[in-house]
Amino acid sequence: MSLYQPFLNHAIPLLKERLPLSPYPIPQGFERKEAITGKGKRQETVVTTSYAFKSPKLRQIRAAHVQGGNSLQVLNFVIFPQLNYNLPFFGADLVTLPGGHLIALDMQPLFHDEAYKKKYSDPILPIYQSYLEDLPWGGDFPEEAKPFFSPAFLWTRPQETELVENQVLGAFKEYLEAYLNFVVAAEPISDDQSLEDIQNAQLRYIGYRAAKDPARGMFTRLYGEEWTEEYIHGFLFDLERYLGSKC
Ligand code: DBV
């Protein structure tokens, strides 16, 4: 049973149809990783599968799909723009744990000025508002994470799986469609100051997510510390590694 497979089955073909995609290298040992957890009847195999692509305007389009039976299903789907575009990140953190579902879906902004908000948040507020009734605000989350979210941050903790299969999938498709329209319309940035601002904003976001990845504990328990740290810094949030390899 994979709750999030339909999300991947929609997103990857759509991206391939709309953008000139090419493969993004997935380091050896990260394409697929398995672990057996629990004992006896409660034994469970947890499989983590990685997908990655790139395009002329998008440095990395990547997904980590964790399938551990009914009590653990995760799809973490993040798009990182090339550093010469001021596009927001597309961020989807879709998590199913024994206690219920945790859904985080957003176009995560590089900047918080009015012009940026008008360009990349206002156009999707109607989509955001259309889901609020069924997918109400999920309550508290880390204060230090707040600067990384937009006014259209769809953050919800539903109990009902049907809401994930229907409303959350619908929101995911609409946010992705809107993001693709932003990508197609995006023009490259050439002035040095803006390029520096973009790189700093990306490093801030990626630095925070790599350092505070809420999945660190889960991955470490499943696959060990060494594999986990390399997966986080060498694949999931790899901009520092990418920049280091360039100069
Ligand atoms: N989160 C990831 C990756 C994951 C992942 C790569 C592949 O960034 C899974 C796996 N996220 C994951 C899991 C949990 C969360 C929680 C397993 C549950 C951890 C637990 O409760 O045991 C959005 N993800 C969260 C939370 C938020 C997000 C807000 C709750 C954290 C908390 O309450 O402490 N997206 C996530 C996030 C940022 C973002 C933290 C920060 C900028 O953009």
Domain coordinates in residue numbering, the chain = 5-246
pLDDT in tens, 115-127: 999 999 999 999 9
Instruction: Extract the tokens encoding 115.
Output: 């012009």
Confidence of residue 246 (pLDDT cuts 50, 70, 90): confident
Atom 21 of ligand 1: nearest residue by CA position: 214
Q: What whole-number distance in Å separates Cα of residue 131 and Cα of residue 125? A: 10
Q: N- to C-terminal Cα distance for the chain?
A: 44
Average pLDDT score, the chain:
97
Which pTM value belongs to this model?
Answer: 0.97
| Ligand 1 touching residue 15 (CB < 6 A) | no
114 pLDDT exceeds 90? yes
Q: What whole-number distance in Å separates Cα of residue 226 and Cα of residue 98? A: 26
Q: Residue 52 Cα, ligand 1 centroid: separation in angstroms?
A: 19
How many CA atoms does the CB half-sphere of 49 hold within 13 Å? 11
Q: Residue 186 Cα, ligand 1 centroid: separation in angstroms?
A: 28
Atom 36 of ligand 1: nearest residue by CA position: 93
| Ligand 1 touching residue 142 (CB < 6 A) | yes
Q: Residue 243 Cα, ligand 1 centroid: separation in angstroms?
A: 25
DSSP string, 165-185: IIIIHHHHHHHHHHHHHHHHH
pLDDT in tens, 46-95: 999 999 999 999 999 999 999 999 899 999 999 999 999 999 999 999 99
* 31-36 CB contacts, 8 Å cutoff, 24+ apart: 33/222, 33/223, 33/227, 33/231, 35/222, 35/223
| Ligand 1 touching residue 138 (CB < 6 A) | no
247 pLDDT exceeds 70? no
In a mutational test of the pocket of ligand 1, which residue from 93, 95, 231 has the highest number of ligand atoms less than 8 Å from its CB?
Answer: 93
Q: Which of 37-46, 144-153, 187-196, 229-238 has the lowest mean pLDDT?
A: 37-46
Q: Residue 95 Cα, ligand 1 centroid: separation in angstroms?
A: 8
Instruction: Extract the tokens encoding 24.
Output: 């993004």
Q: What is the pLDDT of residue 1?
A: 63
Q: Residue 209 Cα, ligand 1 centroid: separation in angstroms?
A: 9
Atom 19 of ligand 1: nearest residue by CA position: 214
Q: What is the arithmetic mean of pLDDT over 139-164?
A: 97
Q: What are phi and psi of 13, to 5 degrees?
A: -60, -35
Q: Which of 146, 148, 166 has its CA nearest to residue 158?
A: 166
The second-level CATH assignment, the architecture, of 5-246 is: 3-Layer(aba) Sandwich (3.40)
Query: Which atom of ligand 1 is found nearest the CA of 213?
Result: 8
Q: What is the pLDDT of residue 156?
A: 98
Confidence of residue 245 (pLDDT cuts 50, 70, 90): confident
Q: Residue 93 Cα, ligand 1 centroid: separation in angstroms?
A: 6
Q: What is the arithmetic mean of pLDDT over 181-197?
A: 98
Answer left, alpha or beta for residue 223, where phi above 0 means left and psi between -120 and 50 means alpha: alpha
Atom 20 of ligand 1: nearest residue by CA position: 214
Residues of the chain above pLDDT 70, percent: 99
